[in-house]
A and B are shown apart, each in its own frame.
Chain A
Amino acid sequence: DSGVTQTPKHLITATGQRVTLRCSPRSGDLSVYWYQQSLDQGLQFLIQYYNGEERAKGNILERFSAQQFPDLHSELNLSSLELGDSALYFCASSAGRFYNSPLHFGNGTRLTVT
């Protein structure tokens, strides 16, 4: 168990809808990262937060947004959903914000857009 909690585990919704994915990092970790993994694909970096502030952005669509709250949990909001957004969304956390901190991944939220 990595200590990172993601909810919900599964989400099925229709095109055009909006969903919110939630992540609670490991106790003490200040950094939260979001990754998207499509079927049999690699991990695409979306966005990173450190102690409530956005630190880095990757290939995140404008329809997606995220935030990290004062209690350090994070939410990823996906709107105007398209079929191609169906994927496994991972949250990861790390103690620090620099390159020498290992990432600890949650079990992911599987999003299916129909």
Chain B
Amino acid sequence: QQPVQSPQAVILREGEDAVINCSSSKALYSVHWYRQKHGEAPVFLMILLKGGEQKGHDKISASFNEKKQQSSLYLTASQLSYSGTYFCGTHNSDQTGANNLFFGTGTRLTVIP
């Protein structure tokens, strides 16, 4: 039930773009994205619900392809503050009645000057 994230790690220079992918072997109702900085709690970024929507949050946006059972997080013109580990959390279609998210193993993003 755990989604698969790729890449596992990425290093960017300030201003560069990155894409983080999240895929599931099961049909999805929703995908959540969170960022966790070292030693801190994960922080909510956005939720995408089935229907193929796309969302944006400053220069961070995401898409959800329900048919492919995958989501992608796009970070454009990266800033130093974007460094951290990004987790996708998925809610599968057989989990009706509950909101227990299964998180991927994370993508460690490092932005350097």
Tell me how far the C-beta of A55 lies from the nearest C-beta in chain B, rounded to whole angstroms. Answer: 5
Cβ of B103: which chain A residues have Cβ within 8 Å of it?
Answer: 35, 42-45
* B44 near A55: Cβ-Cβ < 8 Å: no
* B30 near A100: Cβ-Cβ < 8 Å: yes
A52 interfacial by beta-carbon distance below 8 Å = no
- In-complex Cβ contact of B44 among A48, A58, A104 (8 A): A104
A2 interfacial by beta-carbon distance below 8 Å = yes
Given the known inter-chain contacts A90-B41, A102-B47, please indicate yes or no for A55 contacting B100, CB distance below 8 A.
yes
B74 interfacial by beta-carbon distance below 8 Å = no
Cβ of B105: which chain A residues have Cβ within 8 Å of it?
Answer: 41-42
Given the known inter-chain contacts A42-B104, A48-B100, A55-B98, please indicate yes or no for A99 contacting B29, CB distance below 8 A.
yes
B106 interfacial by beta-carbon distance below 8 Å = yes
Tell me how far the C-beta of B85 lies from the nearest C-beta in chain A, rounded to whole angstroms. Answer: 9
A25 interfacial by beta-carbon distance below 8 Å = no
Cβ of B95: which chain A residues have Cβ within 8 Å of it?
Answer: 56, 99
Question: Scoring A residues 83 to 114 as 1 if CB is less than 8 Å from chain B, else 0, what string do you get?
Answer: 00000001000101111111111111000000
Q: Which residue of A lies closest to B2 (CB)?
A: A42
Cβ of A45: which chain B residues have Cβ within 8 Å of it?
Answer: 100-103
User: B residues 11-70 with Cβ under 8 Å of A?
Assistant: 29-30, 32, 34, 40-44, 47, 49
Q: Which residue of A lies closest to B104 (CB)?
A: A42
Could you jot down 9 A-B contacts, CB within 8 Å?
A: A2-B43, A42-B103, A43-B103, A44-B103, A56-B98, A102-B47, A103-B32, A105-B34, A107-B40
Interface residues of chain A, those whose CB is within 8 Å of chain B, are 2, 31, 33, 35, 41-45, 48, 55-56, 58, 90, 94, 96-108
12 more CB-based (< 8 A) A-B contacts, given A42-B105, A45-B101, A48-B100: A33-B99, A42-B87, A48-B98, A48-B99, A55-B97, A58-B100, A97-B99, A99-B49, A100-B47, A102-B47, A105-B41, A107-B41
